[in-house]
Amino acid sequence: MNRFDYIIPKDLEEAISLVKGYGLEARYVAGGTDLLVRLKQRALRVNYLVSLRRIGELKGISRENGSVRIGGMTTFREILRSEIVQSHLPVLIEASKVLANPQVRNVATISGNICNAAPSADSLPPLMVLGATLTLRGPEGDRTIPLEDFFEGPGKTRKANDEVLLGLSVRMPDQETRFSFQKIGRVSQDIAIVNGAIAISLEKEEVRSVRLVLGAVAPVPLRLRGVEERLTGQRLTGHLLDEAQKMAEKEVQPISDVRASEEYRRHLSGVVVRRLIEKASGIEDL
Amino acid sequence: MKRVVHFTLNGFEVEQEIESHKMLLDLLREKFELTGTKEGCGQGECGACTVLVDGLAVNACLFPALEVEGRSVTTVEGLIGEGGRLHPIQEAFVEAGAVQCGFCMPGMVMSAKALLDETPNPTEEEIRRGISGNLCRCTGYVQIVDAIKLASQKLKGDGRG
Ligand SMILES: Cc1cc2nc3c(=O)[nH]c(=O)nc-3n(C[C@H](O)[C@H](O)[C@H](O)COP(=O)(O)OP(=O)(O)OC[C@H]3O[C@@H](n4cnc5c(N)ncnc54)[C@H](O)[C@@H]3O)c2cc1C
Ligand code: FES
Ligand code: FES
């Protein structure tokens, strides 16, 4: 690890002006569970880390006009313990439970999980099927961007280096929409080989609308639009599920790495899609 | 760049100058010579460096030293009782035969403490989840889970926590 200077600014304004001033020599740091590991592995070198940990306005979970707002510096521990998330966004609870381990969840933040832009990040499929919107603040002011449009590739986002992710907001889902989350790893709480989430709304076993996202199977968390289109307007039958499973295997674009081969990831993608639909719809063994 | 950090360490107010890129683990082991806290992987995977910051278990190898400013840190050395008596959790680990080489123990005991502080009567599942960030290469975890169950009973009689 190189000798960077670790700076704890007193407020958001100071944080932004520091990173703007230092340019690419500086990075924001949240819980550090991705960034410090990369620095220690010498996969990255920076001269300044600007800490967001003490900036109160980036923390907290609230309900505002039919939406849930989650501050960027909210930790996964805090998400798991939030009554608002438990009652309105249980699919995010499912994902947070199997994200890393207690020590990591006590410091790791949702903004870190998003900005790190790992295709395997566990909060991303749930947040994408929930249709989350991000709010960023940079030297020139605030802007919002749908989470779905935020990622460009592994570790790459549309955020400028000096922009802070203030938080995200999610419209509270209607009663009819059902959700589920799946993660397959070597052991539970390991980085996912494949993960995914679904939001599906049914009318008498017929699919009215569906959003389906898989992680770790493409350079960015991937919406399976082909499968979504195939399902929409159809009655859920065993035959349809078989078809969705096969389509998913083709629609993903996985790579081989230390965790799994491309072939195995394709196979798992189909399995995960099937389980997501079964679990969310409550219709099993079709 | 050197900076000064002020915090509470095992109940004592302390201040210490440290280079700002150092981690809490370096601060504890190098500056305070509290070598109970171990370094295994140095990357958040093994939990050998687990300490409590404001009561929450964290990996000291990934916790910037300067971030403990104004906070309260408890290490395994802080568990010691009057006359050097072991903490009930430590006693339970000894009695359950949960210790082999011992390298994982300071971290394991601190994770057990964080768990029991919040969940005094954990189920086996809760215990396993509570120590899921701590690797042990020796024991196979069965006796560790037993030790935490035993510790939970001891603490009920003890009132020390
Ligand atoms: C042992 C271990 C196990 C793990 N297991 C999992 C797992 O199971 N699933 C999973 O998804 N992840 C896992 N992770 C990865 C990591 O813990 C998560 O991605 C975590 O959410 C990162 O958050 P952080 O606050 O620690 O981010 P940091 O490391 O502080 O930051 C990550 C990146 O985001 C940027 N950033 C952070 N916050 C902001 C902000 N508010 N504005 C602008 N930029 C920002 C930083 O500059 C940096 O580039 C694991 C990590 C470890 C060490
Ligand atoms: S040494 Fe800190 S987690 Fe392994
Ligand atoms: S007793 Fe040896 S690593 Fe746990």
pLDDT by residue (tens digit) across A233-267?
A: 999 999 999 999 999 999 999 999 988 999 999 99
Residue with tokens 């932004």: A16
pLDDT band at A92 (very low <50, low <70, confident <90, very high): very high
DSSP string, A60-124: -EEEETTEEEEETT-BHHHHHH-HHHHHH-HHHHHHHHTSS-HHHHTT-BHHHHHHTT-TT-TTH
**What's the total number of domains in chain B?**
2
pLDDT, residue B151, reads 98
pLDDT by residue (tens digit) across A160-188?
A: 999 999 999 999 999 899 999 999 998 76
Are A8 and B66 inside 8 Å of each other by CB?
A: yes
Residue B46 beta carbon below 6 angstroms from any ligand 2 atom: yes
**CATH number, residue B51:** 3.10.20.30
B62 Cα–ligand 2 center, Å: 8
pTM > 0.95: yes
With 0-12 / 13-18 / 19 or more C-beta atoms within 10 angstroms meaning exposed / middle / buried, residue A175 is exposed
Same domain assignment for residues B17 and B67 = yes
pLDDT by residue (tens digit) across B19-62?
A: 999 999 999 999 999 999 999 999 999 999 999 999 999 999 99
pLDDT, residue A250, reads 97
Same domain assignment for residues B109 and B44 = no
Reported ipTM: the value is: 0.96
pLDDT by residue (tens digit) across A104-122?
A: 999 999 999 999 999 999 9
pLDDT, residue A194, reads 97
Same domain assignment for residues B65 and B116 = no
Are B133 and A103 inside 8 Å of each other by CB?
A: yes
Range of the domain at B104: 82-158
Among A103, A106, A189, A191, pick the best mutation site for testing chain B contact (most B Cβ within 10 A).
A103
pLDDT band at B159 (very low <50, low <70, confident <90, very high): low
With 0-12 / 13-18 / 19 or more C-beta atoms within 10 angstroms meaning exposed / middle / buried, residue A286 is middle
Give the whole-number percent of chain B exceeding pLDDT 70.
98
pLDDT by residue (tens digit) across A44-59?
A: 999 999 999 999 999 9
Query: Angle formed by the axes of helices B88-95 and B142-158, to 10°?
Result: 140
Nearest-Cα distance to chain B for A33, in Å, is 7
Q: Using the 3D structure, point to which of B52, B76, B100 is the last residue of a domain.
A: B76
